[in-house]
Amino acid sequence: MDIARTPATPDGNPEMADAAVEPKASAIIRREDYTPFPWLVPQVHLSFELGVEQTRVTSRLTVERNPAADASPTIRLNGDGLKLSELQVDGEPCSTHAMDGDDLVVTLPGERHELTIVTQIDPAANSQLMGLYASNGMLCTQCEAEGFRRITFFPDRPDVLSTYTVRMSGPAAQFPILLCNGNKADSGGDGDTHWAEWHDPWPKPAYLFALVAGDLVARSDSFTTTGGRTVELNVWVRDGDLDRTEHAMESLKRSMKWDEEVFGREYDLDLFNIVAVSDFNMGAMENKGLNVFNTKYVLADQETATDGDFDGVEGVIGHEYFHNWSGNRITCRDWFQLSLKEGFTVLRDQLFSQDMDSAPVKRIEDVRILRGVQFPEDSGPLAHSIRPDSYREISNFYTPTIYNKGAEVIRMMRTMAGEEAFRKGTDLYFDRHDGEAATCEDFITAIEDGAGLDLRQFRLWYSQAGTPKVSVAVTHDGDTAALTFKQDIPATPGQADKQPMPIPLRIALFDRESGKHDGEHLVMLDTAEKEVRFAGFAAPPVLSINRGFSAPVTIDRAVSRDDLVFLAAKDDDPFARYEAMQDLMVGHLVSAVAGEMDSAERDAARQDIACAFAAVLEDDRLDDLMRGELLMMPSQAYLSEQMLLAEPGRIHEEREALKAALGSALESQLLTLHKRASALPFALDQAAKGARKVKTVALTYLAAAKPDTASDLAEKQYSGADNMTDRQGALMVLAGLQSPARTGALLDFYNRYRDNPLVVDKWFSLQASSLHPQVLQHVKALRDHPDFTLKNPNRVRALYMAFAASPHAFHAEDGEGYRMIADLILELDPINAQTAARFVTPLGRWQRIEPARSALMRGELERIAEAGNLSRDTFEQVTRSLG
């Protein structure tokens, strides 16, 4: 499953106060308490009599005792808000059952039985969007992590694997398309009603079950696997959206081909369906043979989707397809092993995207996301290890740590092993555990055995939370350079003391005169402190470290501004060059916020940064995609992480001042860049995408320095745009300016796209995340807009998550931004708890903010906690955030 993806540039103790009312059934679940389920469920037959307001579900389960588990005379079938209509055991009405909370407990005397269970559910009333629910007249499901128990009583845990046969029936006019997992076995009709039967031959857990019924049309194609199987491919959407599905289909075919070539994984059914749904909590879901997607990650064309949207569609489609092996054929034993499938699959989709486009730029984008969302999580009250030890509500652990850090940890194994040996390890993993519910330990062991690595100490990455800090000092004596490394892992909730972990660091030592190095080295920092010596340097070298971001750590190095300027101009590793440019700006901004520099020092630092920028602007060896990355400023979130206590107001002020200084110093070069980039026609190749990227980057610096000039340029770019990237980039700049052109452009954009929900989401976000001084008032007005609704997660995120990521607005000095998010959480929680809980995180950063704002943020968390009747999702996030 793909969590709703974070933009690439995102600008503890579980107890709580006595006044709080703890939600029912919020007991802590611990990994150490895992035991196998006492019953196997080898076969499941489901029958759905479909209706938007009433659906009848009949499940027939074959159950038999599990020889690998302790014997039990009862079977516990999980439910969530279900009402039992009928229960039979071996064809006879059953009286030996009881309800334990929401669960159905049935006494079974023999070794093997058949259970028949009938439930009635109301999809239209399911605003939580978990289980079977209605979306604009269509029925669809979302079962990960624990949604299947909202459909029928079942042992809803990932280690219970079953083959499913499903019959769906309903009004043909209302539900002309009936889809389910696996291959279609049969279909027919009787009057106004029709039916379809589906069979999935591959055993799967209940969380991978999927059903869709509605009035849909498909873009169809086919793919022939290396083994000769012809696979029918369909992308199902609502009528009117079909012309925006070509990119999705091509992305799917590229994913299938890539997975065969790079990981040796071939698709295993005759059919692969993707369905786009407008009401969806997440990004997409990898259900076997029937992937259900948020429309955001399916629909794309030149007029309505940005380059980032095109990349997002390709990446998410790849992610969900790759789950067919890393998640479906091999699934998780329990939810503590969630990163087994998600971390590995994120790495696979990142490598796929690197191969499809610019690998260096993709790597930088992935690191920016990690630093923008995962590093703050690792340093806050919600910090947890990649394989957690406990949870209250599993939906809260679909986090950047599980996904993004999990991917980085597996990438480190790949770096240590080398690509060829890593492939041997993954082949062994797939061979050993196909058809099983596995653990993270199983994966690590397979990499050890296949790649010939000793990963005993490396396992600490799975059990220790926190982002390691690596300090490095370079000394020079004679012709030898000595590098002294130290690692420190900060304390996190429940983990005060940490052991050193293996950290693979790719480094290079540059000769200052020639601007070259003698090759790259891989240093394994596997102790608290380590010295490495290199001979052959007549003068002190310039260190390039953590090249390619070989380890998810922070680097503390005593490096001069001159050396950073050198690396920003000459480093041949794209990420290291980007990092030097970022360090130049971060060092200046942190010092400026702390008041550590006088006006002369401030001017000198800005001049050095401007010189580095000028070198990037003039470097003909760079393509524009990379140029755009090198010119991008560090986000306010990342800057806050570099400070013990962040001062949001000062950070915003100094960041904007640097942006204005750079825009003023480089005005002519930026204008030239914008003009050159504007001459390229629209295409989806790297050159055209890069041109569109630097065009908007240039506008952002000009807007800070020369708002009138930028407004005129942005207005022309907006009115002359033949694609969404240019139009949205121009509108983003205009939305932050107090310019006469602002209102007209926003009104035109809305009127132009008012019938396209995904583009209207952009309209909300652009205003909520803008640099305009009245953004708080704008968000309040947008909350009352007729197109705003709390029932659609995309729309809620578009307005409020964009606002929470807008530092100067969210961190308004009087706390109004904090109140706004707290009010949203309280209003949204009864409607959609999963979405509401994700808004706790911005408030949960209170311990890293200066005292006045910190008290206001904590006060809002306490107000939420005291409200009572919170969902388990929100309750856990709030209590952990309070500490």
Same domain, residue pair 182 and 318: yes
H or E element, residue 291 = strand 290-294
Which residues sit opposite 140 in a β-bridge?
Answer: 133, 212
Same domain, residue pair 487 and 407: no
Same domain, residue pair 365 and 216: no
With a CB cutoff of 8 Å and minimum separation 6, the contacts of 454 are 448
Task: Report which of 162, 227, 172 is spatially closest to residue 195, judged by C-alpha positions.
Answer: 172
Task: Report which of 128, 275, 126, 137 is spatially closest to residue 210, judged by C-alpha positions.
Answer: 275
**Residues 372, 635 contacting (CB under 8 angstroms):** yes
Q: Tell me, yes or no, whether 94 lies in a domain.
A: yes
What CA dihedral angle connects 314, 315, 316 and 317, to 10 degrees?
40
Same domain, residue pair 474 and 456: no
Q: Tell me, yes or no, whether 361 lies in a domain.
A: yes
**Catalytic residue check, 303:** no
With a CB cutoff of 8 Å and minimum separation 6, the contacts of 789 are 795, 796
Mark residue 3 as left, alpha or beta (left: phi above 0; alpha: psi -120 to 50; beta: remaining).
beta
With a CB cutoff of 8 Å and minimum separation 6, the contacts of 28 are 14, 390, 391, 392
Q: Tell me, yes or no, whether 410 lies in a domain.
A: yes
- Identify the pLDDT of residue 23: 66
Final residue before a domain boundary, out of 551, 568, 591: 551
Q: Tell me, yes or no, whether 547 lies in a domain.
A: yes
Same domain, residue pair 258 and 397: no
Mark residue 548 as left, alpha or beta (left: phi above 0; alpha: psi -120 to 50; beta: remaining).
left
H or E element, residue 609 = helix 599-618
Handedness of CA 712, 715, 721, 727 (dihedral sign): positive
Same domain, residue pair 261 and 354: no
Same domain, residue pair 394 and 260: no
**DSSP codes, 460-519:** HHHH--S--EEEEEEEEETTEEEEEEEEE---BTTB-------EEEEEEEE-TTT--BS-
CATH code where residue 386 lies: 1.10.390.10
Same domain, residue pair 361 and 506: no
- Domain of residue 485 covers 469-551
How many domains in the chain?
A: 3
**Residues 872, 833 contacting (CB under 8 angstroms):** yes
Same domain, residue pair 230 and 249: yes
Final residue before a domain boundary, out of 287, 322, 357: 322
**Residues 382, 841 contacting (CB under 8 angstroms):** yes
Task: Report which of 556, 558, 544 is spatially closest to residue 475, judged by C-alpha positions.
Answer: 558
Output DSSP code: residue 203: E
Locus of tokens 């005993």: 456
With a CB cutoff of 8 Å and minimum separation 6, the contacts of 190 are none
**Residues 209, 143 contacting (CB under 8 angstroms):** yes
**Count of beta carbons in the 10 Å neighbourhood of residue 18:** 6
> Tokens for 149?
């128990």
Q: Give the side-chain half-sphere CA count within 13 A for 701.
A: 25
Q: Tell me, yes or no, whether 801 lies in a domain.
A: no
Which residues sit opposite 510 in a β-bridge?
Answer: 517, 542
Helix (H, G, I), strand (E, B) or coil at 333: coil
Q: Tell me, yes or no, whether 628 lies in a domain.
A: no
Report the alpha-carbon distance of residue 854 to residue 815 in Å, rounded: 10
Q: Tell me, yes or no, whether 500 lies in a domain.
A: yes
Catalytic choice (144, 146, 320, 715) = 320
Final residue before a domain boundary, out of 266, 295, 322: 322
- Identify the pLDDT of residue 11: 35
- Identify the pLDDT of residue 356: 97
Same domain, residue pair 128 and 220: yes
CATH code where residue 259 lies: 2.60.40.1730
The ranges of the chain with pLDDT < 50 are: 7-20
**Residues 763, 754 contacting (CB under 8 angstroms):** no
**Count of beta carbons in the 10 Å neighbourhood of residue 66:** 17
CATH code where residue 473 lies: 2.60.40.1840
Same domain, residue pair 303 and 374: no
pLDDT digits (tens, 9 = 90+) for 354-380: 999 999 999 999 999 999 999 999 999
Orientation of helix 338-356 relative to helix 307-322, angle to 10°: 130
- Identify the pLDDT of residue 16: 29
Q: What does the angle CA 674 – CA 679 – CA 681 come to, to the nearest 5 degrees?
A: 125
Same domain, residue pair 511 and 412: no
**Residues 84, 57 contacting (CB under 8 angstroms):** no
Report the alpha-carbon distance of residue 138 to residue 493 in Å, rounded: 43
Q: Tell me, yes or no, whether 43 lies in a domain.
A: yes
**Residues 537, 480 contacting (CB under 8 angstroms):** yes
- Identify the pLDDT of residue 26: 65
